[in-house]
Structures are given as structure tokens and as C-alpha cells.
Amino acid sequence: MGDCIFCKIANGEIPAATIYEDEEFRVILDLGPATRGHALILPKTHAANIYEMPDELVGKAMILAKKMAVRMTQALGCDGFNVVQNNGEAAGQTVFHFHMHLIPRYEKDGAMVSWKPGKLTDETREELLEKLK
């Protein structure tokens, strides 16, 4: 992916504030942070989204998310932690290179990682169980 900005950042062609790096991933500070310390896990190989990610790399990304959550929580003293991963424009994805958001949370930080709960009706539950089970 010649013009993918996250490929360039992940592989060091464009500088970014890196807080962790190994052979397969780079973790950088988000330029438009939701909260203090908001970071992104970027794989060094291109995959647009979770559907395109090799299973093994998804597993490693999740393990890294856990490691970073522990490390960042200790270092920042945050009160909670969101791990968020968007796929597709409809889901809020704006950069089409797989990434995981690491969002430290602080009491009353006002960050919006939430939704208005709907209601699961009997009919929808049955329909979804049929489709998804």
C-alpha cells in the first residue's frame, strides 16, 4: 500500500511519537487524542481492517493491547481503559489500515466511547439467534 499513512508510520518512514515497537507492531500516540495518553497499535504489515488481518496477528495485537493497558495504567494512573477497534466507515473508521485504540480513561473525562442502549425485543432476539448461532 504505497500511499497508506499508517504503513509509513508503522515502518518508520514518517516519524511518530512511538511508545512501543517490536518486529510486527508499532504503538504511537494518537494525534487527536480522546484523552491524555490515547495511543494506537499499528501492525507493520498492511491490512485494511480486521477482516483482512491474519488470525495470528489479531491474536498478537490483542495480547499487545493487554500489555500496553497494564503498562499505561501504571504509568498514567488512569481510572479505566477502553480498547476500541473500528472497521469500515459506518463504524467510524477513518484510516483504512487496521489499528487498535488504547484509550486511558479518567473519572469524568467526558470522552465519548458510548452509545444509547436500545431494547432487544423477543422477535429480534429470535431472528438474530437464527442468523448468528
User: Which residues are known catalytic residues?
Assistant: 99
The site that binds ligand 5GP (CB under 6 A) totals a number of residues, namely 12
Q: Which of 26, 38, 97, 99 binds Zn ion (CB under 5 A)?
A: 97
Q: Smallest distance from the beta carbon of 109 to ligand 5GP, in angstroms?
A: 15
Contact 19, 28 (CB under 8 A): yes
Burial per residue of 93-106, b for 16 or more beta-carbon CB atoms within 10 angstroms, e otherwise = beebbbbbbbbbbe
Q: Does 61 bind ligand 5GP (CB under 6 A)?
A: no
Q: Smallest distance from the beta carbon of 8 to ligand 5GP, in angstroms?
A: 9
Q: Does 4 bind Zn ion (CB under 5 A)?
A: yes
Backbone CA torsion sign across 21, 91, 129, 131: negative
Q: Smallest distance from the beta carbon of 71 to ligand 5GP, in angstroms?
A: 18
Write out the three cell numbers for 44: 507493520
Q: Does 1 bind Zn ion (CB under 5 A)?
A: yes
By a kind-dependent CB cut-off of 5 to 8 A, residue 91 interacts, out of Zn ion, ligand 5GP, none, with none
Contact 24, 30 (CB under 8 A): no
Please name which of 70, 62, 71, 61 lies closest in space to residue 25, comparing C-alpha atoms: 61
Sheet-wide strand order for 18-21: 18-21, 25-29, 39-43, 100-105, 80-84
Binders in 18-47 for ligand 5GP, by CB under 6 A: 28, 30-32, 40
Q: Does 5 bind ligand 5GP (CB under 6 A)?
A: yes
Which stretches of the chain bind ligand 5GP, using CB under 6 A?
5, 16, 28, 30-32, 40, 86, 92-95
